[in-house]
Each structure stands twice: as C-alpha cells, then as structure tokens.
Amino acid sequence: MSSPSWSSYMPALGSTLGSALSGAVEIASAVSSSVSTQLASKSSPDRNSTSSDRDEVVWISFDSDNVASARPQFLNVCFTNGFQVWEVMDSSSDSTEATRQTQPLRELVSVRQGYTKLIRVLPSSPVPASSPLHGHLPAVAVVSGDADEDPKLLRVYSLRNSAYVHQLRFHGEVHDVSCGEHWVAVCLKNQVIIHDLGSLDILHTFTTYPCPTSSAVLAVSPRTFAYSPNQPLRSDLIHTAPANTYGSAFLDAGVGVAGTARSAAVTIGGMGLRAVDAYLSRSPPLAHLPEASTEYAGCVLIRSSSSFEAFHHFRAHDGPLSMLRFDPSGALLVTSAVDGHNLNLFRVEGLPTPQHMYKLVRGVTSTVIQDASFSPDLRWLAVTSGRGTSHIFAINEDGAPACVETHVPGSLVCTPATEYGTPPQRGPPP
C-alpha cells in the first residue's frame, strides 16, 4: 500500500498550522490591517499627494525589550526619512476583543529625521547612575546615515524622553544590532562588537567570517549567542555532526527535474531556453564574496551570553553562512548557507556535542534565506527567502521523522498486522 502524500491532507494541514501559529496569525493580521490604515493616513494626507510625498518603508520588524520573551512587544518601522515604534497590545490583557481587533497597536514615537536602516529596542535592564542611559530607558538603537552611503552611525533614542541621548560611530557599515540581557552587539561586515549596556564601552570584539550579504550572521538566545567565526576550528571544541541525509532525495530529484526541463527547452528553441535559464539562475545579487580562507567558511561558534566563553565550534555548511536563528529557548539552531538550497537544524543545548537533527531542502534555485521562525510548539519551522517565497517545514523537537501522521490530526495511520496488511485507521497518531 502506498504511503499517503502530504498533498492529500492540505486542508487538515492548514487547520493544524492555523492552530499552531494562531497567536502569531492573530497579531500579524490585526497589525497588518492597523499598520496599513494608520501609515496610509499619516503618509497620504490627501488623494492628490504624489508617491514622492509618501513615506517609503525600508525595514520592519517585531521586537521585544527582553531577549527571553517569545511575545512581540513592539513593531519597528523604518523609512527613508525616519522611523516609528509601535507597542503591540497584549491579547491576553483585560482589554475587550473589540478593542484588540480595532486597536492592536499604540504609537509610541514617530521621528522624521533622515534615512534609517534599522532600529532595535534596547533591553530594559537596570543601569548604574553613571550610565549615559540612566533615566532614559526604554530606548531604541537607531542605525542611520545618508541614503547614498553605508550607514555607520548608531544613535540611542529615548522613548521615555523623546530625544537622542547617545551615539556611536563605526568604521564600516552597520549590518545589524542584537541585544543580550546586559549588552548590545553591533555587527559589521567582519566583526561583532559587544558593548556594555550600562557604560556603552566595548566589552569584546570578535572577528567573523566576512558577511557575504547585507544582513548579519548572528543569533542570540537567552543564554548564548552564535556567529560565524573567521578562524580555524578549535581543537578543544571541534564537534563533527554526522551528516543527516534527510530530504536529500528531494534535492536530487529537483536537480534532475531542472536539468530535464532545460534540455526540453533546448528543443523548443531559443525563447524557451532563455525563459528557463532566467528562472533557474535569477536570484537577488550577492555582495562580493569575502577574501578569506574557505577552510573557515560555514562554521558556527557558540558562546555564553554571560561569560562569553566558547563551548561549541562546528561546521554547519561547506559554504559561507547567510543566516542563523535560535528557537525561543535557545536549544535549537537553524543555519543556512548563501546558496539557500537547504537548511540544517541542530540541537545545541543539553548535549555534550551539537546534534544534527534535519537537513531541510528548500529548492534548487539559489537565493538568500533572509529569516526563520519556529512555531511555539516547535513542530513547524517557517523561512523566508530573497525570492519573496516562504517555506514551512514540519519538524520534531527530538529529531524524529516528521510526516503526515505526526503533524496532521485525524490523518491516516497505517498499522501493519498481517502479510496482507490491515485497512488504514483514521485517528490521531498513537
């Protein structure tokens, strides 16, 4: 008897995903409607305004002032001429359902003052009286500069006092800003510079493998942070994760299909060949690949967020990395290389060495994986690519095979009993 296919259970799968991601969907749908309405009202005061009069959104992200929080508390929006910070209303609060649906956001600040690349909410941790941030928290780190130049300036804007209170200038473009409980990490092309939250002095500088994209290859969890180092594997920390071929058959099949399609296009003629080649090769342009030893490419180094001691150093891919993301607990780490063909999922906490759990195949066309997010129950992983596509993978926290029976309630469960087999039983997985 042939195994049931995923496509046979798409309605049930959609229902399951809706339940697993209900909190995020509720927030996202309400926020999307609210942002569209409220930004439109602010950026288009009348129907006669031209497109040049409107605010151009260049970056948007949910955020929190607590690295351990899984619930988004803020929505950050960056424009070519400023930024906004919105508070995401808590759906579990005492506010009525009608209020949450019509007013899911509350604007905290709106600043129109030059090109803004990104902003991050700083942790609301206590700081000493001598700190330049004393009396100014909550605050956000604002990366800004001229639109025609690489943003090299980080300024701290106080949400409490509605004013800039400090600034740091760097020698290169700031790719990203991430925060631990007591520090702020500024990511440049080939460095991660850790600043103390209280004094804003430099605590540590770590050399990284030159970032091949415009994003930073850094992930932060409540207890650790991970990045791609530009150094040989440390002999005292080397861990060789066994190759997991999960999904490789799909990759091989995809390569075969792509090759067959191109061969068929040759027989169609030049127009067909150009069309297929355009699809197979088109991807967002990558930055110039770093002039560094390929021996160091694709490696991950994990350090403690408190002591900064390194305790895991392993190779995740053969090529340079483009993305690292922890799950909310920090136990799982998903990685992607610049070609974006597949992702690797590792368990990095609770074990003496990292455990390679899954190889998740995205596709055969090259693109940069831009972001990844885990569902609250750690049964689904969603990723977005530079092609504008989103992909959802079924996973299990313990690394067990993921299939229809394990992830779709009410699916067919085959229980072999005799040489002739038994009829499939419908019901939840055992």
HEC letters along the chain: CCCCCHHHHHHHHHHHHHHHCHHHHHHHHHHHHHHHHHHHHHHCCCCCCCHHHCCCEEEEEEECCCCCCCCCCEEEEEECCEEEEEEECCCCCCCCHHHHHHCCEEEEEEECCCCEEEEEECCCCCCCCCCCCCCCCCEEEEEECCCCCCCCEEEEEECCCCEEEEEEECCCCCCEEEECCCEEEEECCCEEEEEECCCCCEEEEEEECCCCCCCCCEEECCCEEEECECCCCCCCCEECCCCCCCCHHHHHHHHHHHHHHHHHHHHHCHHHHHHHHHHHHCCCCCCCCCCCCCCCCCEEEEEECCCCCEEEEEECCCCCEEEEEECCCCCEEEEEECCCCEEEEEECCCCCCCEEEEEEECCCCCCCEEEEEECCCCCEEEEEECCCCEEEEECCCCCCCCCHHHHCCCCEECCCCCCCCCCCEECCCC
Kindly report, residue by residue over 339-349, the tens digit of the pLDDT.
999 999 999 99
Given this model, what pLDDT does residue 405 score? 77
Given this model, what pLDDT does residue 165 score? 95
Which residue did the predictor score with more confidence, 253 or 107? Answer: 107
Kindly report, residue by residue over 2-48, the tens digit of the pLDDT.
444 555 555 555 555 555 444 444 444 444 444 444 554 454 444 34
Q: Which residues of 139-160 are buried (b: 16+ CB within 10 A; e: fewer)?
A: bbbbbbbeeeeebbbbbbbbbe
**Tokens describing residue 152:** 């090299």
Given this model, what pLDDT does residue 101 score? 56
Ordered by where they begin, the domains of the chain are 24-44+54-207 (2.130.10.10), 217-284+293-399 (no CATH)
Given this model, what pLDDT does residue 210 score? 86
- Asked if pLDDT for residue 360 goes beyond 90, the answer is yes
Instruction: Judge contact between 213 and 368, C-beta under 8 A.
Output: yes
- Name residues whose C-beta falls within 8 Å of residue 50's C-beta, 6 or more positions apart in sequence: none
Highest mean pLDDT among 240-244, 354-358, 385-389: 354-358
Given this model, what pLDDT does residue 226 score? 97
Kindly report, residue by residue over 228-246, the tens digit of the pLDDT.
998 877 666 655 444 443 3
**In the beta sheet, which residues pair with residue 183?**
196
pLDDT bin (cut points 50, 70, 90) of residue 108 is very high
Given this model, what pLDDT does residue 292 score? 55
- Asked if pLDDT for residue 285 goes beyond 80, the answer is no
Average pLDDT over residues 47-58: 62
pTM: 0.73
Given this model, what pLDDT does residue 93 score? 54
What's phi and psi for 137, nearest 5 deg? -80, 145
- Asked if pLDDT for residue 272 goes beyond 70, the answer is no
Tell me the average pLDDT of the chain.
Answer: 75
Kindly report, residue by residue over 125-162, the tens digit of the pLDDT.
899 999 999 999 999 999 987 656 778 999 999 999 99
Kindly report, residue by residue over 194-212, the tens digit of the pLDDT.
999 999 999 999 999 987 7
Which residue did the predictor score with more confidence, 115 or 266? Answer: 115
Given this model, what pLDDT does residue 295 score? 78
